[in-house]
DNA sequence: AACAACTATTGACGTCAACAATTATTGCTC
DNA sequence: GAGCAATAATTGTTGACGTCAATAGTTGTT
């Protein structure tokens, strides 16, 4: 149990009991929301789920899912990547990459090419139609994001994006 | 994700022989990262996954997961809720609520009580030990959030939280 | 030549979320 | 007041997903 709450001394915070989160200038309009979404981490989790669902729903008509889209976008940035690279960079298991690239190849969006210097590796490249698809769905992606970030004005969206990017810099990937 | 540092079996010796692997620290300002995380929705998705994993890892020792924690926190705010209410408010399927409340009941953190006015409904209430557990894990949750939001200073965290809350208000939930 | 490490791949196992179907109960309606 | 749609909780199923183990082919080392 957590009774021994891992009292590991964190390098920050002078360990004064300020657990009951001090003044919250956040105006949660509904009472239950204050309690539920008081924690930013949990908020991120919930919003991430919702965002993923929206994206998946948007990609559904094309037969792909968010993970395929991630692979495509990565390929678009590097123009040729080893599967191992996709695995480490995107955070998916190598076995997952196999299926994803299979699907993309089946749709003609990507190709596996033999590596000239190492016959173990396969270089995955984005095809023309894959690039077209990416361009087409980019608009849909923006639409989804717009829907998600509905109540925010452009400046706020920019600020949010910057903040999230700062976090992503740190630990993600 | 993130290779997960195979902590299960010891026979996986960490070989440090790097070949042409680009194992340098990832910087969000690299072009591929810009391409990948250019979309706020996708960024939210990735960060949400990471946040959920951190929370789950933190709760793991207590046998609970993030969803259980969400139920507990909601119960703490309303002091008695129908399962249907938990479903709609937390966004989980009614069938999921069943298992979650089962687990919480098994641990003594919550109780199902018959509703006096509607024999179909069950009122789920937080028990004393459930309340204690919440108080104990609150600190751990803040620690996780702190870790997640590492590169942000307090003002920025506050701003991020406010922005996310605005989004959460809007959509489902 | 023998051996360790690496890449891609397959398969097994457990988890989790979304959907359909079932049971018990309620409220409406004719 | 008997039938009937709607609702609350539950069960079962299916598909996606992550993790791990194992294998075949390949590379570099000694």
Structural domains for chain A: 45-147 (1.10.10.10)
Q: Picking from A18-27, A42-51, A103-112, A153-162, which range would have the lowest pLDDT averaged per residue?
A: A18-27
Residues of A in contact with B138 (CB under 8 A): 19-20
- Of residues A29, A50, A78, nearest to B171 (C-beta): A50
Q: Does A94 touch chain B (CB under 8 A)?
A: no
Cα–Cα distance for residue pair B74/B85, rounded to 1 Å: 10
Which nucleotide in the DNA or RNA is closest to residue A81, CA to C1'? C7
Size of interface A-B (CB pairs under 8 A): 237
Judged by a CB distance cut-off of 8 A, whether residue B76 touches chain A is yes
- For chain A, what is the mean pLDDT? 76
Q: How confident is the model at residue A147, as a pLDDT?
A: 80
CB contact under 8 A, A12 and B148: no
* Weakly modelled stretches of chain B, pLDDT under 50: 1-32, 172-173
The full DSSP string for chain A is -GGGTT----SSS---S--S--------SSHHHHHHTTSHHHHHHHHHHHHHHHHHHHHGGGT--HHHHHHHHHHHHHSSEEHHHHHHHHT--HHHHHHHHHHHHHTTSEEEEE-SS-TT-EEEEE-HHHHHHHHHHHHHHHHHHHHHTTT--HHHHHHHHHHHHHHHHHT--
Q: How far apart, in whole angstroms, are the C-alpha atoms of residue A171 and residue A139? A: 29
Condensed to tens digits (0 to 9), the pLDDT of residues B57-89 reads 888 778 888 889 889 989 998 889 999 999 998
Residues of B in contact with A5 (CB under 8 A): 136-137, 139-140
């Amino acid at each position: 149990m957590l009774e021994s709450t891992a009292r590991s001394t964190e390098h920050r915070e002078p360990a004064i009991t300020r657990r009951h989160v001090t003044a919250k200038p956040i105006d949660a309009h509904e009472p239950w929301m204050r309690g539920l979404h008081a924690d930013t981490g949990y908020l991120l989790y919930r919003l991430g789920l919702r965002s993923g669902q929206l994206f998946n729903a948007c990609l559904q008509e094309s037969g792909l899912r968010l993970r395929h889209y991630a692979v495509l976008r990565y390929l678009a940035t590097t123009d040729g990547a080893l599967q191992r690279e996709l695995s480490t960079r995107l955070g998916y298991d190598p076995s997952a990459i196999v299926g994803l690239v299979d699907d993309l190849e089946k749709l003609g969006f990507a190709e596996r090419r033999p590596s000239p210097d190492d016959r173990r590796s396969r270089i995955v490249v984005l095809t023309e139609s894959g690039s077209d698809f990416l361009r087409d769905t980019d608009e849909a992606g923006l639409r989804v994001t717009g829907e998600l970030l509905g109540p925010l004005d452009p400046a706020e969206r920019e600020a949010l994006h910057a903040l999230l990017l700062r976090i992503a810099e740190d630990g993600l990937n």
